[in-house]
């Protein structure tokens, strides 16, 4: 096959793997209230249980890099997708907080692995493509966020039980993965290191990692808490509670799918500054105005603002002087995704001590910190 056609095919397959990850992760959002009520968990208990998802992802991410170096990102993406699809319906079958935590840990390990693997493919595809297309991949993840969160709610509204609805989503993920993974670039196409060891990130990697941590914390807060906030603080019907994350995902998807051009026109510094300020105000609008529509508008603003911040950070990580891109990206990814996957547990504890509105508002304040910290760095 012609190299250009192979790259085009691999790009399409990589986009669909990003879609799988987005659907798998976001399908958990409307499931959270069902698990909370079934197990009788308060906000603090739920936050601790949710920590298991983040723990599984964060612990698996550094080892995934080693596995990719040995087996290739294509094979790791396949295995991780199957783990996600298998565990998704099992999350609603847990009969205790401990069982749910264990299932979330394995589910999170799958999320962490597929995330590293699909980004490794995206970097390779972008290199072969010859221009910046990273935002489009993350845009497809956001499309998956829309389809997962609103799709599962739609299936429940149509009469399926939450477990059967989750099983339907799982089958879809398996079909997509099975038909696309062979089109990804094989291990032979990927750069291989002679030896790889685990190491702690340093210097500018830590700075970008902290910036990513806060940005991903904003995303993770909406993933795990938007449905709870809408249902219990804004009186949404349970079948519609996924609209919060869905509205956020729509806005983020639109901005990311057009993000490559936006970054070229405005420059990375302005994208980070304006984006994080807008996202911060979105959080404050959602939690301070008492109307249901205001919450959805606020979540939309978060999606619009935060959409292209992370692609900028990933690009910056790949350009850090004297640090190989693979090492820098690995460190930033681990620190960043710990915010999305572990940070929401902090929100649960803070919500129990104060209120969920205050906890989410605090995330908005942290986004203001990112705006000014990155501007000062520039």
Q: Write the pLDDT tens digit of every residue in 135-152.
A: 888 889 878 887 887 888
pLDDT band at 22 (very low <50, low <70, confident <90, very high): very high
Average pLDDT, rounded, for the chain: 86
Q: Mean pLDDT throughout 341-363?
A: 87
Query: What is the model's pLDDT at position 361?
Result: 94
Query: What is the model's pLDDT at position 342?
Result: 67
Q: What is the DSSP letter of 96?
A: S
Distance CA 239, CA 230 (A): 11
Minimum mean pLDDT range among 18-32, 137-151, 179-193, 214-228: 179-193
Query: What is the model's pLDDT at position 378?
Result: 54
Q: Domain 3-185+200-377: give its CATH superfamily.
A: MFS general substrate transporter like domains (1.20.1250.20)
Q: Where are the domains of the chain?
A: 3-185+200-377
Query: What is the model's pLDDT at position 200?
Result: 58
pLDDT at 331 > cutoff 70: yes
* Secondary structure of residue 145 in the 3-state scheme: helix
Q: Mean pLDDT throughout 10-29?
A: 93
Structure token digits, residue 75: 């094979």
CB within 8 A of 11, min separation 6: which ones?
Answer: 125, 129, 133
pLDDT at 195 > cutoff 60: no
Structure token digits, residue 245: 């994350």
Better pLDDT: 192 or 7: 7
Q: Mean pLDDT throughout 315-332?
A: 72
């Amino acid at each position: 096959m012609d190299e250009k056609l192979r790259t085009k095919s691999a790009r399409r397959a990589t986009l669909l793997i990003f879609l799988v990850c987005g659907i798998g992760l976001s399908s958990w959002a409307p499931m959270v209230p069902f698990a909370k009520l079934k197990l009788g968990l308060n906000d603090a208990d739920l936050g601790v249980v949710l920590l298991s998802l983040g723990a599984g992802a964060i612990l698996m991410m550094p080892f995934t890099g080693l596995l990719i170096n040995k087996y290739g990102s294509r094979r790791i993406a396949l295995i991780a997708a199957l783990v996600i699809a298998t565990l998704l319906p099992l999350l609603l079958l847990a009969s205790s907080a401990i069982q749910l935590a264990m299932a979330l840990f394995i589910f999170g390990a799958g999320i962490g692995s597929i995330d590293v693997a699909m980004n490794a493919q995206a970097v390779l595809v972008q290199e072969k493509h010859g221009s910046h297309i990273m935002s489009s991949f993350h845009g497809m993840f956001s499309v998956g966020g829309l389809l997962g969160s609103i799709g599962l709610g739609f299936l429940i509204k149509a009469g399926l039980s939450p477990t059967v609805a989750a099983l339907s989503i799982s089958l879809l993920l398996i079909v997509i993965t099975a038909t696309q993974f062979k089109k990804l670039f094989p291990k032979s196409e990927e750069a291989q290191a002679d030896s790889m060891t685990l190491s702690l990130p340093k210097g500018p990697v830590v700075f970008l990692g902290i910036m990513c941590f806060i940005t991903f914390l904003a995303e993770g807060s909406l993933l795990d808490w938007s449905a709870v906030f809408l249902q219990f603080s804004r009186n949404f019907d349970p079948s519609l509670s996924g609209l919060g994350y869905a509205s956020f995902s729509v806005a983020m998807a639109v901005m990311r799918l057009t993000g490559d051009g936006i970054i070229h026109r405005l420059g990375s510094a302005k994208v980070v500054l304006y984006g994080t300020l807008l996202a911060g105000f979105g959080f404050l609008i959602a939690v301070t105005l008492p109307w249901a529509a205001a919450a959805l508008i606020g979540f939309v603003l978060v999606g619009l603002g935060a959409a292209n911040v992370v692609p900028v950070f990933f690009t910056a990580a790949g350009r850090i002087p004297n640090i190989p891109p693979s090492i820098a990206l690995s460190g930033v990814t681990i620190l960043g995704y710990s915010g999305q996957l572990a940070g929401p547990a902090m929100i649960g504890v803070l919500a129990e001590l104060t209120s969920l509105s205050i906890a989410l508002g605090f995330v908005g304040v942290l986004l203001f910190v990112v705006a000014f910290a990155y501007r000062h760095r520039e």
